[in-house]
Structure 1
């Protein structure tokens, strides 16, 4: 066994007994666990199936890939039976006991613990899966038998020898080569079973009700005794903190990562938020939970601790109100104060070292160009002069983005780290990565990933003392509430090196918070049922330690945990001076200096001197949107109108100088002598008032320095 591998399987031992009373007729798979020979696949080359031979299997960790061949198992509409014994720990639900088949609707067979009182014989979603309630619930910490039969016309589900339910159904199981024990067809979905299993069997016929009853009666009470529950870990010692705060709220069913506030643009009655919210403080030593805010008709999200850990900044939608606003509260629940108001949503706030707050807001008054929800981008409210209490005044928009921005957080050098979505003449579902800017909105630049499409990099935070950041990599175009794979990023080799992003573990989580380079708080991010109700500690090696679990009643009500944060002081970052100027102070424009337009990536075929002018365009935000496509503006073209602002000359040496209106999303197209476009920018640039920006060339590598050459300054009147 390699160093660092976990002991994740145990065989519970018992004196030898008589052979299993399983019916022999039609048996095509049987794992009695008596030999310890459970087929196993290696994880990263480490064989994780270890332990002495014995009588029953205990799976202590998720992410195993136990299983064997399905070549002899019933396929198509052939009759069959799946049978096993299991014991679930308290709180363990929404877990798959076993399955085989393909990820095609109706092409699988599996057993699933849906809730603490519900089992399912599932066929991968369609035709109708067989869900059945267990009278009195599935008692944790004891053995239970479950069997699912299919006779080519009717599916039946049995629990502890009794029929739970049945359904007429026509399935078409398509084998994919693997029988999976303790995990789902869709890997890494958080439904890996942790607990005990024994006597796994599959038949090529449907066992009768009497056979199942007799089998249960013969083995009930004779399986190996279960061990006493393990004592909980010393969480304060493990995490290095005594208390954490977190939010509890319901989430919407919409799968887009950003669809969690505001109304539908066509149907105002369709809200992307739901009633039920709490702000909680958990004492890790005693397990006591204190509700600082408890609003059954409201919503709570995005808590952030002040630098001295005495105040919590959060976003709160009071019961009966349609909008989230920023609030502060003492960690003891005192001095609740509202900071912002108005017909807007203010979310995802973070304290900055100068006392200001950077947050995300819908005050930009625009809608997603390819969807029917509102956009929110970075804003800031300043600390009042003279040491007065923070009051949310002097709100200023920092970004001119026409798409979403999310989860700002201060970097150790005082800049703001955030997620930026953009698609200037490129895929609307591919590019949502990590950017930085100064707290005044100037100096926006990519930190990591703008050339790595098809993942949303979000909820990023710096890992103390390392120069690295941790983020959720939400797959594809992102998932509900930022669910994704927790990933450590080292941007030291530049923004485009995929080898410097390392996922930890293989499950889905939300809201990572770095306690150190080796340990992270997170909310789990699994599927339905009681999923999403745990706070966990995730090690850099992928080991998951439960920290807190919502009650079954909360899980049934659809509540989830969000944004766990340690209650501990942290150092204040250096303050970057505010250099931007308002229009009233001469800050209506900023400038851009381009050193040599012929330098950069993908410039093959462009000859020196070929580019004569830069066409300057502005992307116009959508004040409303009612389609998911480009229609009615274009058909297969752009999602937004692009306004021509003007042209500027490109000098013979490739340089250009542009004065741009401040706080507008602009981009450039390179024109030849015939005013034909030979290269087009697929991002946008925004300048703050009075800001001067320079770049080496056209899409140059972000870490490139200007070429060494003699520069002659041109003057003119």
Structure 2
């Protein structure tokens, strides 16, 4: 279709636009704009050779408007051409969820894997002027087109399209004359938003990562590159949420929108990010630059720092001068010059917010007007806006014509095939103390922990909001150098979080942005949460950089947990520590020791044995786990580990002693000050400082001449003198001093310390929450029997205490104080461990509130409060597990009801630590088998012998407001999958599994099959293999139910959870070679859901000693999904490592 556009324009149009509505997004995010009145005028053909165009309007808050007329002369430079999208198709719920910024194409949140602006037709206008020639390039009919871009020579238009009746967006190319439509990408993935690199390759967004984003469980999108014929598709970014709208900058880099979520919903916002074409050099170009976060010590709660849908960007437009423009809540803005070193941005001098923008080679900007009824030109310098075309439902205008090709930037990656490159990079921080977070206790920061965010592939709920988070994996901890620097080697292409921690391993400041390094890349920063505009200090080399980087690679058996914050924030508050412990995955195993023991004492014995194993990685992991458990009984083994041949083991053992040591640990720590490894020596120094609340200025990074100062200090001050000093300092008004002294007394105190701590708690009921918790814990560590009445009172007075109305947003921790006082009192009573200490907890348990009341008070959103464990219940179970209590039968129902449900959180192929604690505690009860039999009865086992008084307990579900609670059968299946540790039930369980498999699709069927398959895997019963194999081989594959129509947050129509993924995972845990053939078939059949194929790959990883590693390696080289490909490559890596003997 070709038509002249002059007839489309009205002679004169006066539009008066008023932003109204007290709750409108515009008023919420820009009150000045919301109260403004603008007058817009359209081009008028009455002036021959002249056009009246938009210009910036001035206004005051009373609504008075002034306007100006700008005349465009006949020699005005109209662009050579423009390509745009017509017949706008809105993104609507429930299939999509997008929170727009001021009605533009920018967004705070965009859930669907597709461009944020869609249409049906692709047009060009040549020249790009009101009387240019309008041509229809492509009509998608009932399909969708979006996100056009033009090749550098102007001959080809690349765009996103899903054809009518197709189910996935793909990248297409078409000649600028409308000829030669070519589909470049294929497969069951959404590929969209293409752009051409200077070297001719095409970059685009894609769901080929094969993992789900941490917020709503939708498929994550990253940036990929391919040849211009669609071959050689490789990832450039590995972001675990979403990267959108990649555009090439004038310098040859790539700017794009990054969805910058963290720990599920701790933070939900977008920013403009920049990378080199090889993915290196990642940095934020435009985004929120928060000042110091407010923090209240009494509540240990953050002030509201606009974490949730308050900062949004979109419509990336790299300008010709190197700046990057975009739309945000401040309107149309641009970054400072790319290499100027400034974080300031410039607001465009226009009096309206465009729907979208794109750059022209001459520095001007194409825009779509509000309402998507016209496209025009913006002169950035003057703010003058010239309208080009008026037509309803148009958007996404881009320049059509030849333009200067940016320079081709050489790759910074090591040479070689992508899958054979080094899989690590380096992180150097100049000083964590260079930070804006001055409300944190900076003097308490002693080390840095690096946490990996590993995305999930399973989706639990068939609901557009499925809050799954990520799996947090602790890669390791490094002591800080005295100048605050650290230098570490970390996994490449992996989401990483930096956590500044105290000497006991608890968080002080948490970095709330995922960072990445590419293979072989060296990434450096000035500080944590530092001022963006600050320049590196012109001082000497950071102390840590004087030595080889410490390897923090998460090998061995690292600590894992549910990184799934149901609230907001977590930069400074207690949420991070809560999920690290109460939502752990790897603590408290449920495999009994050789003597049948299954409790805390057995855990310490097992970890102590692991600390003496031949595998250096396992020794390191054991020390790090003991640091988390903080159990005094591990001191002798940890002290011995200070002599280990591995410096990383020695450093980890010293840090563990910092968390759990007492006076007996001091002598071996003093000897470690002379360790030849500076990090081990510094870790020992940290431990000594923590146990004495004193510093001697020890600095092994600059020589060890001051190592003797510790011996001198301890020679001058015996333990009585040290304790007396700590007791005096406990009365300080400084909360930081109080905290350090309360902790130190718990390490080295005697009877005097116990009395002082009891008095402090009695006299200071309103002290800082962290100080109160430290003092309570110290009484537990000191096993103060005289403190039992006080601790019991604290527990009972707070366990049902209503915290009242939150002074600020409750999701930031403002209601948590009574919950943490109760939980910490339970922890202390458990550490005392006597019958007198633990019995009050057992007696009080039936009187506790529903567990989700406590999670809500801890900050969890009301939708999510039933899906995470309560700190109070966690500490009670831990206390019972640690001790030898009496009859616990009366509290069995309340224990069962305290188990969170899985419908709105991540699904695991294993049980988590809270669930394992439940199983371990219930195994001691005489009701253990009755609980299992009751669950079996609910699931239809006619041979079951249920206990009628337990049926309500095994079927009662916690609330899940958005996705719904569990039905009775699903809940009973969940309970039995947690508590059953007896393999003799396997036959009855796979009978249930097969019976439910034979039913028609339903939500209960999916959940029951998922839980029973998972349990069969844990029981490792060989007779279950046939049923699990049959589920993979014979049951309907997920794709057979069909795919959803895009745009959509869902891909598969099949009901979740996908139980066949659990069957694959179970086969891996049973670890029988009989399953290899079926798993290989599942891996390579793309009608299986991504999660099923990923589970099959992980099962094969468990079976790596039995599989053909070369064959799997060959499959990995061309496997389309990154998450599964990485697992397959691990098999080769594991095979290689197994041939090499471990070295220290």
Cα separation, partners in 2 of 1:491 and 1:97, compared to 1, 3 Å: closer
Shift in Å at residue 522 of structure 1? Answer: 1.0
> Partner of 2:546: helix, strand, or coil?
coil
2-side partners of 1:574 and 1:588: how far apart?
Answer: 25
1-side partners of 2:74 and 2:245: how far apart?
Answer: 27
Is 1:594 the counterpart of 2:449? The answer is no
1-side partners of 2:133 and 2:147: how far apart?
Answer: 21
What are the equivalent positions in structure 2 for 1:376-415 lying under 5 Å apart? 376-381=221-226, 383=227, 390-415=228-253
Cα separation, partners in 2 of 1:284 and 1:260, compared to 1, 3 Å: farther
1:713 corresponds in structure 2 to 546
2-side partners of 1:657 and 1:564: how far apart?
Answer: 44
2-side partners of 1:675 and 1:655: how far apart?
Answer: 18
1:4-58: per-residue Cα shift (whole Å, max 9, x none)?
A: xxxxxxxxxxxxxxxxxxxxxxxxxxxxxxxxxxxxxxxxxxxxxxxxxxxxxxx
Shift in Å at residue 90 of structure 1? Answer: 5.5
1:278-329: per-residue Cα shift (whole Å, max 9, x none)?
A: 2434334652211221221222222222122122222222222122211222
Which consecutive unaligned segments of at least 5 residues does structure 2 have?
1-8, 25-31, 52-71, 93-97, 100-106, 291-305, 549-676, 678-1143
Cα separation, partners in 2 of 1:598 and 1:376, compared to 1, 3 Å: same
Tell me which protein shows more helix as a share of its residues.
Answer: 2
> Partner of 1:455: helix, strand, or coil?
coil
1:472 corresponds in structure 2 to 327
1:320 corresponds in structure 2 to 165
Of residues 85, 88, 92, the one that matches 1:250 is 88
2:334 corresponds in structure 1 to 488
Larger C-alpha radius of gyration, 1 or 2? Answer: 2
Of residues 292, 305, 314, the one that matches 1:458 is 314
**2:82/2:397 contact within 8 Å kept:** no
2-side partners of 1:586 and 1:518: how far apart?
Answer: 40
Cα separation, partners in 2 of 1:428 and 1:537, compared to 1, 3 Å: farther
> Partner of 2:394: helix, strand, or coil?
strand
1-side partners of 2:318 and 2:367: how far apart?
Answer: 15
**1:405/1:421 contact within 8 Å kept:** yes
Of residues 463, 466, 486, the one that matches 1:656 is 486
Shift in Å at residue 400 of structure 1? Answer: 2.3
**1:250/1:273 contact within 8 Å kept:** yes
2-side partners of 1:462 and 1:98: how far apart?
Answer: 31
2:420 corresponds in structure 1 to 585
2:399 corresponds in structure 1 to 565
Shift in Å at residue 667 of structure 1? Answer: 0.5
Shift in Å at residue 261 of structure 1? Answer: 5.2
What are the equivalent positions in structure 2 for 1:271-670 lying under 5 Å apart? 276-284=120-128, 286-371=131-216, 374-381=219-226, 383=227, 390-424=228-262, 431-451=269-289, 454-464=310-320, 466-473=321-328, 475=329, 485-491=331-337, 497-498=343-344, 500-515=345-360, 519-526=364-371, 532-540=372-380, 541-550=382-391, 555=392, 559-580=393-414, 584-603=419-438, 606=441, 610-623=444-457, 624=459, 626=461, 639-670=469-500
Cα separation, partners in 2 of 1:547 and 1:450, compared to 1, 3 Å: same
1-side partners of 2:522 and 2:401: how far apart?
Answer: 40
Cα separation, partners in 2 of 1:697 and 1:235, compared to 1, 3 Å: same
1:404-461: per-residue Cα shift (whole Å, max 9, x none)?
A: 2222222232221122121325976663222211111111112233416633232223
2-side partners of 1:627 and 1:496: how far apart?
Answer: 45
**1:245/1:567 contact within 8 Å kept:** no
1-side partners of 2:433 and 2:252: how far apart?
Answer: 33
Cα separation, partners in 2 of 1:524 and 1:673, compared to 1, 3 Å: same
Shift in Å at residue 613 of structure 1? Answer: 2.7
2-side partners of 1:98 and 1:603: how far apart?
Answer: 42
**2:455/2:470 contact within 8 Å kept:** yes
1:46 corresponds in structure 2 to none
2-side partners of 1:340 and 1:227: how far apart?
Answer: 45
Cα separation, partners in 2 of 1:237 and 1:576, compared to 1, 3 Å: farther
> Partner of 1:572: helix, strand, or coil?
coil
Is 1:103 the counterpart of 2:37? The answer is no
Which consecutive unaligned segments of at least 5 residues does structure 1 have?
1-87, 106-123, 125-183, 197-225, 264-270, 384-389, 476-483, 527-531, 634-638
1:216-260: per-residue Cα shift (whole Å, max 9, x none)?
A: xxxxxxxxxx99577664899534433222222432243434658
Tell me which protein shows more strand as a share of its residues.
Answer: 1
Shift in Å at residue 367 of structure 1? Answer: 4.3
Normalized against structure 2, the TM-score is what? Answer: 0.38
Shift in Å at residue 342 of structure 1? Answer: 1.1
**1:523/1:564 contact within 8 Å kept:** no
**1:422/1:428 contact within 8 Å kept:** no
Aligned residues: 478
1:155-190: per-residue Cα shift (whole Å, max 9, x none)?
A: xxxxxxxxxxxxxxxxxxxxxxxxxxxxx9955698
1:679 corresponds in structure 2 to 509
Shift in Å at residue 562 of structure 1? Answer: 2.1
1-side partners of 2:12 and 2:241: how far apart?
Answer: 40
**1:247/1:300 contact within 8 Å kept:** yes
What are the equivalent positions in structure 2 for 1:20-419 lying under 5 Å apart? 89=10, 95-96=15-16, 103=21, 186=34, 192=39, 194=41, 233=51, 237-254=75-92, 255-256=98-99, 257=107, 259=110, 276-284=120-128, 286-371=131-216, 374-381=219-226, 383=227, 390-419=228-257
Is 1:693 the counterpart of 2:538? The answer is no
1:6 corresponds in structure 2 to none
> Partner of 1:363: helix, strand, or coil?
coil
Normalized against structure 1, the TM-score is what? Answer: 0.58
1:503-554: per-residue Cα shift (whole Å, max 9, x none)?
A: 331223133223367632111232xxxxx1311122333333221122xxxx
Shift in Å at residue 666 of structure 1? Answer: 0.9
